Structure 1
């Protein structure tokens, strides 16, 4: 600001008044200041200014587990839509499902005075997300529930969606249905496995443990697991897949084998109608998770620091709808 003032031949106070749009500055002086701002490429440091004024940064931190998954990109877009409408900006961090990285990111964001945090937790150890550790920074969890802490939360109907998608395979005549899923330590993996198991039991079918594969799969390793399951003699004729990467891998396997197998999956899959495989998806809008989480956070911020938090933790559950392709 001092450089702008020197170039325009005015005081730093005058520059500040012009940038704030205050009246009482002559038009010729205002134009000189604005020309100096343009010539020098000056941009006001909003973070430093807010800290000097005892305010927060105007930033909201979003911490997710896997930016390579389109689910999280959509979630981030939904959250950004809401926070921007309140004059805030989103800062994004990726943990790669590593708890240590999550702790580091959260500590860094709190140190940077973010107004609030939206976190997709990487594990069940969430002590670093307690109010004391966050120094009072408001928190909303997305896609996975709190463990040992209290927090506003936005979840998907993991159990209900998995049960409905598996039940559709049963209704289509499949009795041998395998499961390709996340590690059981993940909440989403456990709930979707429970939904698969429940749908089979409700239909009077016996879930077969030998047709279950669970792990931290990529599309490539999911394809290999699906090939192994579908290639078994008297193996499953259909698979339920617990996320979009697993579904894509399984569809590749079906096409590679030329098998008349059907796939049901959780999460939407881009260009699902072009995959050439009978496909049922428990679909929902990831951006809606981001929007709901951001709105819960803004509600806490709008309540004011003196009274925060207000009321008990809130939980929102996003429903799923079945989408059917290739039939």
Structure 2
């Protein structure tokens, strides 16, 4: 065969009609399983690649059966679990997922949302990095759901964790174990979740906040900040770290100073192997699988035609005591 294989070539190889091939390629469920298997085998053997734009025009619903998912960093354990949950939900509907990492970059958010829309994705799930999403008002006809963080300047469905309540519960847990000098280590203040978790910290401590460190981003920065904090004369007896990478950096600093059995720690968001450390790390666990399923479900409702007002869905966090948050504050004042 010379040149690229065509749909006619697939039909001949599979011994079916052109219409049957079209239905299988376009994901229509009306084809008998044995015929669909023959078509897929022919597609694979011929390395046939359908023209996405042409197939979209042939379908009555004008959909591409793709969605775009823009997260902070798909390498982060939370983002990775969130992405997989969305992908699983999409797979069940025969929908493919295009993914990008925003790296807390305003310009990258705008570039990727524009690029995914140009590729005719049926909808977008976005964990916003920019401080203003009003530019999305130009994206008429593309359903958008925000996840993990609320948007600013643009109204749309949003799925978030109970950040304020979860942070407040973590700090109250430390107070219940005798701590009064409880430090807060937070990510960039422009990030909505960082602000919400700081609100929860203040809510639990009232007018008696301990040392507060903002704008810590990444494990290395968190380790440096924690080392400096713990070397102070008025060092805190407990730490509340408001993001999983900050927690990892803090754990490294505690172990480096030999204080991991003396200074209590509760981190917001779980991370791999946290339960295997000694002491194991007490965390406020988010539920990225639930968040991802909820976000995908809301997006597909919009794609299917739901046009009600924007909704905010809150997924409750869970405090998981493991040891590091239960170190008693014997020396607190």
2:285 match: 283
Pairing 1:156–2:153 present: no
Unaligned runs of 5+ in 2: 25-37, 327-333
Q: Which of 287, 294, 297 is residue 295 of structure 1 equivalent to?
A: 297
Give the structure-2-normalised TM-score: 0.84
Deviation for aligned residue 1:19: 1.7
* Alpha-carbon distance change, 255 to 16 in structure 1, aligned in 2, over 3 angstroms: same
Query: 1:87-140 CA distances to partner (integer Å, 9 max, x unpaired)?
Result: 21111011111111111111111111111110011022102222xx11310010
1:178 match: 183
Pairing 1:117–2:103 present: no
Pairing 1:82–2:84 present: no
- Where has structure 1 moved over 4 Å in runs of 4 or more? 1-11, 32-39
Give the conservation status (yes or no) of the 8 Å contact 1:280–1:323: yes
1:72 match: 79
Pairing 1:188–2:193 present: yes
1:29 match: none
Cα distance in 1, alignment partners of residues 267 and 40 from structure 2: 57
Give the conservation status (yes or no) of the 8 Å contact 1:178–1:240: yes
* Alpha-carbon distance change, 295 to 224 in structure 1, aligned in 2, over 3 angstroms: same
Pairing 1:126–2:133 present: yes
2:57 match: 51
* Alpha-carbon distance change, 18 to 207 in structure 1, aligned in 2, over 3 angstroms: closer
* Alpha-carbon distance change, 301 to 273 in structure 1, aligned in 2, over 3 angstroms: same
Give the structure-1-normalised TM-score: 0.85
* Alpha-carbon distance change, 199 to 150 in structure 1, aligned in 2, over 3 angstroms: same
Query: 1:158-207 CA distances to partner (integer Å, 9 max, x unpaired)?
Result: 10000000110111111111110012211111110111111112xxx611
Deviation for aligned residue 1:285: 1.1
1:323 match: 320
Query: 1:60-83 CA distances to partner (integer Å, 9 max, x unpaired)?
Result: 110112223111111111111212
Report the secondary structure of 2:304's partner residue: helix
Cα distance in 1, alignment partners of residues 317 and 92 from structure 2: 27
Q: After the TM superposition, which of the residue ranges 275-284 and 287-296 deviates more from structure 2?
A: 275-284
Q: After the TM superposition, which of the residue ranges 68-77 and 156-165 deviates more from structure 2?
A: 68-77
Query: 1:273-314 CA distances to partner (integer Å, 9 max, x unpaired)?
Result: 2222363211121121111011001111122xxxx5x11101
CA RMSD of aligned residues (A): 2.9
Query: 1:189-243 CA distances to partner (integer Å, 9 max, x unpaired)?
Result: 1110111111112xxx6113xx211114211110111111111112101110001
Cα distance in 2, alignment partners of residues 218 and 198 from structure 1: 25
Unaligned runs of 5+ in 1: 23-31
Deviation for aligned residue 1:45: 3.3
Cα distance in 1, alignment partners of residues 215 and 151 from structure 2: 22
Report the secondary structure of 2:270's partner residue: coil
* Alpha-carbon distance change, 96 to 231 in structure 1, aligned in 2, over 3 angstroms: same
